[in-house]
Amino acid sequence: MNQPVYMDYNATAPVFPAAAAAMGEALTIVGNPSSVHGYGRAARKAMEDARERLAAAIGADARGIVFTSGATEANNLALQGAGRPRILVSAIEHDSVRGVSSAAELVPVHRSGEVDLAALERMLGADHRPALVSLMLANNETGVVQPVADAIEIARRYGALVHCDAVQALGRLPLNVTALGADLVSLSAHKIGGPAGVGALYVKDAVALKPLLAGGGQERGRRAGTENLPGIVGFAAAAEIAAVQQPAEAARLGALRDDLEARIRAARPDATMFGIESPRLANTSCVALPGMASERQVIALDLAGIAVSAGAACSSGKVRASAVLGAMGVPPALAASAIRVSLGWQSKAEDIDRFMAAWAGLLNPQLAA
């Protein structure tokens, strides 16, 4: 019997063995990092060592790293904690950004999937209240890389802060948050081979941040609550591995992704690939098959042992219309036939073969194995 094939890395990635081992060791540490006795100091040292290692992996000052329960909390902390009366977010942001404020202003994107920088400038110029702009580094559904550096340059002219959700970029693009220049950067462990339930927000030293959670002085007063030491240690281990492997993995996964897309086009010339005219993450392909619902494709592929997604993973576990493709101007009927294939560190050439065999069977049941 064939082993299942996992092609949903943008939802979550398998944990690196080294990260799991590091977490196992951390679980033997007894103390609370806030305790002043020897046990507590040992726990504090392990946590601060992990903070330094994560900071080094992303080119940051360790003092700017705030550990959180994940990127959703990091995004909320950034957008709410910055205290800006205006919040502008791109129309393709993750729900944990788009849903933070009902008053958030949506910055449109081009059909290519890249944010409309001219529209951003017009919007900032139309209202001079202090603002925060939130723009992801790479989109979770299409993989399109956003012009964050250009957006930061525009925002600076209007005195706006910039938050960047870099969750999908970490380990998939070269990431140096100091060079990037954003004031706030959100990260997540479980997208890169670390554990679920831990993330971080990088905060530039000049940014004042009001905590969302009160009742403790942890994380320099920016996030109350006992830190998840095993998760933090696993996060740091995974970030180090992902950063070292990133250039080679980008080349390897890009070749697999390009092979997949070429074979899909050969099988179905009417298939639509989204974001291909823009810079993309090497591991991500978003493809629509006209006339075949996303849900049908996901379920059929799952029955064949192939795990893919219909856009972003959501808490309901249901397939729903893609706000990202809608923002890109994709007709609803076409968007409703899109699936996302995302590759990662365990992906191999045989996975592409397995996908194409299952997909061919979906197109023509007589060809199914």
Domains of the chain by start residue, with CATH: 5-13+246-364 (3.90.1150.10), 17-241 (3.40.640.10)
Please tell me the predicted confidence (pLDDT) of residue 312. 54
Three-state helix/strand/coil letters over 56-124: HHHCCCHHHEEEECCHHHHHHHHHHHCCCCEEEEECCCCHHHHCCCCCCEEECECCCCCECHHHHHHHH
Per residue in 222-235, pLDDT (tens digit) is 999 999 999 999 99
Q: Which residues are catalytic?
A: 314
Q: Which residues of 221-254 are buried (b: 16+ CB within 10 A; e: fewer)?
A: ebbeeebbbbbbbbbbbbbbbbbebbeebbebbe
Per residue in 40-65, pLDDT (tens digit) is 999 999 999 999 999 999 999 999 99
| Sheet of strand 338-342: strand arrangement | 272-273, 284-288, 338-342
Please tell me the predicted confidence (pLDDT) of residue 368. 41
3-state helix, strand, coil in the chain (%, to 5): 40, 15, 45
Please tell me the predicted confidence (pLDDT) of residue 206. 84
With a cut of 50, list the residues of the chain below it in pLDDT: 314-316, 366-369
Q: Distance between CA 105 and CA 255 in Å, rounded?
A: 38
Please tell me the predicted confidence (pLDDT) of residue 315. 44
